[in-house]
Structure 1
Amino acid sequence: MTKVAVVGSINMDLVALVPRFPAPGETLIGSRFETFPGGKGANQAVAAARLGAEVAMVGCVGGDGFGRELLSGLAAEGVDTSAIHVSGEASTGVASILVSGGENTIVVVPGANHCLTPSMVEASEQLIASADVVLTQLEIPLETVEATARLASRHRVPLILNPAPAVRLSRALLDQVACLTPNEHELATVLGAPSLPFPDMLALLPGKVVMTKGEHGAYHVDGSGQFWHQPGFAVSAVDTTGAGDTFNAALAAAWQGGLRQAMRFAAAAAALSVTRLGAQGGMPSAAAVESFLQNSTQNAPSLT
């Protein structure tokens, strides 16, 4: 069983289904409202646990009802929550999500997520040192991500960094990352190269990037310059919220089996995740992904 340490955000998602996205100043009547546990870190922790990994999480919630509910939900999913801190200064992070036609728009208020400090991560050094892979994102302070990368590097544990929401990243941080998992826009932001086509951007960090591209799948350039494409799987999308988080979690859970197989496993898991409502609601089990793959005619990543 792969041991995954997740360092990241924990939110409550407030989801409204709407007939279309409103224009500025416009009020629409929605058809449904739900609350779901979310935050990229928590989503990835839950997805990895469902996919068969042994998961521990480092994060921060507020001392409020949302925080208590989220901690209980993570524990129920089998995630070790002993390194999740409760802030006395900030409320639990929330995300306001509008869903229409299988697409979404999201506004995140970080709250307690921005109270997660480097010292909190350093206090969990043994948790990181004992992991097979560390997974983090950018919904927590960048200095905390950098502290996580230093610890992972110190203990020679591979670090997967999902650079969302995207910012320009230092070369020092990129050098400590085993795998960067942006979409095309995020990759351009991370590299400060908005005018380059994505194959050229991938070639700037050979062997380090798995770039996601929605229904088109994922792309990678290996250390020898070989270009890989893992096609997406065709499904009927209900809600794309959490698809990227599922992809990242699956990549981490399958990391030890090699990158090509991990990319295929992750693409299948992400496809299944969009068939149900809610970031965590559609996250599949390992058995569901394996069954899906067995019934698929799609092969491993194509090489060009």
Structure 2
Amino acid sequence: MISVFGSANMDLVAYTATAPKRGETVTGRAFATIPGGKGANQAIAAARAGAEVAFIGAVGDDAFGPVMRETLASAGVDVTRLRVAPGSSGIAHIVVDDAGGNSIIVVPGANGTVTGPTDGDLEVIDRSDALLLQLELPMEAVVAAATRARVPVVLTPAPAGELPPELLAAVGLIIPNEHEAAAITGLSDPEESLKALLDLVPEAVVTLGSEGSLYGSRSGARLRVPAVPVTAVDTTAAGDTFAGALAVARAEGMPVERALRFAAAAAALSVQRKGATTSMPARPEIDAALRTTVTP
């Protein structure tokens, strides 16, 4: 089982040819309201990739809360530990351009009320094979979950920011993209930032978008795995899809290289579809894509 302690947001997505610059107004061509949030995204990605998943977090008592709960549940995620907080659910305002790029503003809402895992949450976490964390909950909550968990901790350090030493000490695997890795280490070269990350945590994967990913461990292992070449429609939640699928592959005991290719196949499928939770592939799709990209 995979536990995810994280955010649930309603994504308000505007599609436009070119994203507006500061002070500029542009005309969009479509709008969608799609359940998301980095925590919920990773939970759904992991569930669709074949894992039993429990989600721990909060939604508001507004109209969006029940929709997000049902979206998680319908994907097969256990929402027993998803609590309801007074006020607004988390919101993400997303602009997607015709090149598939995106810019995002996150308003925490109910996510901001989560200060740490309860004893009941910890009982669920400690029955898991891994705990997935992100940084859309308050940092104190993320640190509390990481330091109190008795299972391997996987961190996606997004949104990028300063990471407390006690959090890093509890993380077994960190999965930043190249920009987040640079923000953490101060090094713009992904190879160099990977080396610096391994001074902080035992294992790291730096995702490079269309350039694939870099893996390293303190044991000296190094891998570069190419991305699956596709035409991106919407890159929203591609990183969350990668992280969720990678956690499943690792929990199943796949060798590192195959696990990375499994995650890359899942991410490639997701960017060919619009939205966050609406774009994530099911296990048969990932397995089929993997067979076409990996020689047995």
TM-score, with length taken from structure 1 = 0.91
Q: Note the 1:4-43 alignment, pairs <5 A.
A: 4-43=2-41
**CA distance in 1 between partners of 2:178 and 2:22 (Å):** 27
TM-score, with length taken from structure 2 = 0.94
Which of 276, 281, 290 is residue 284 of structure 1 equivalent to?
A: 281
Distance 1:195 1:218, change over 3 A: closer
Q: Note the 1:122-201 alignment, pairs <5 A.
A: 122-152=119-149, 155=150, 157-190=151-184, 193-195=185-187, 197-201=189-193
- How far the C-alpha of 1:196 sits from its partner, in A, is 5.3
Distance 1:100 1:205, change over 3 A: closer
Corresponding residue for residue 101 of structure 2: 103
Which of 215, 220, 225 is residue 225 of structure 1 equivalent to?
A: 220
Assess if the C-alpha contact under 8 Å between 2:187 and 2:193 holds in 1: no
For residues 23-45 of structure 1, the C-alpha deviation after alignment (integer angstroms, 9 at most, x for no partner) is 22222111111110100000111
For residues 120-156 of structure 1, the C-alpha deviation after alignment (integer angstroms, 9 at most, x for no partner) is 444311100100111010000111111111122xx2x
Q: Note the 1:256-275 alignment, pairs <5 A.
A: 256=251, 257=253, 258-275=255-272
**CA distance in 2 between partners of 1:196 and 1:109 (Å):** 28
**CA distance in 2 between partners of 1:201 and 1:141 (Å):** 25
**CA distance in 2 between partners of 1:148 and 1:175 (Å):** 13
Paired letter, 1:292: A
Assess if the C-alpha contact under 8 Å between 1:218 and 1:230 holds in 2: yes
RMSD, matched Cα? 1.5
Assess if the C-alpha contact under 8 Å between 1:122 and 1:151 holds in 2: no
**CA distance in 1 between partners of 2:119 and 2:136 (Å):** 18
Q: Secondary structure at the match of 2:203?
A: coil
- How far the C-alpha of 1:234 sits from its partner, in A, is 0.3
- How far the C-alpha of 1:76 sits from its partner, in A, is 1.1
Runs of at least 4 residues off by over 4 Å: none
1:49 matched to 2:43? The reply is no
Assess if the C-alpha contact under 8 Å between 1:203 and 1:225 holds in 2: no
Stretch deviating more after TM superposition (22-31 or 141-150)? 22-31
Which structure 1 residue ranges, 5 or more long, are not aligned? none
Stretch deviating more after TM superposition (270-279 or 16-25)? 16-25
Assess if the C-alpha contact under 8 Å between 2:143 and 2:166 holds in 1: no
**CA distance in 2 between partners of 1:217 and 1:249 (Å):** 16
Paired letter, 2:196: L
Corresponding residue for residue 75 of structure 1: 73
Corresponding residue for residue 250 of structure 1: 245
1:294 matched to 2:294? The reply is no
Give aligned-pair identity as a percent: 46
For residues 47-88 of structure 1, the C-alpha deviation after alignment (integer angstroms, 9 at most, x for no partner) is 111111001010011001001111111111111111011001
**CA distance in 2 between partners of 1:121 and 1:205 (Å):** 30
1:240 matched to 2:232? The reply is no
Paired letter, 1:111: G
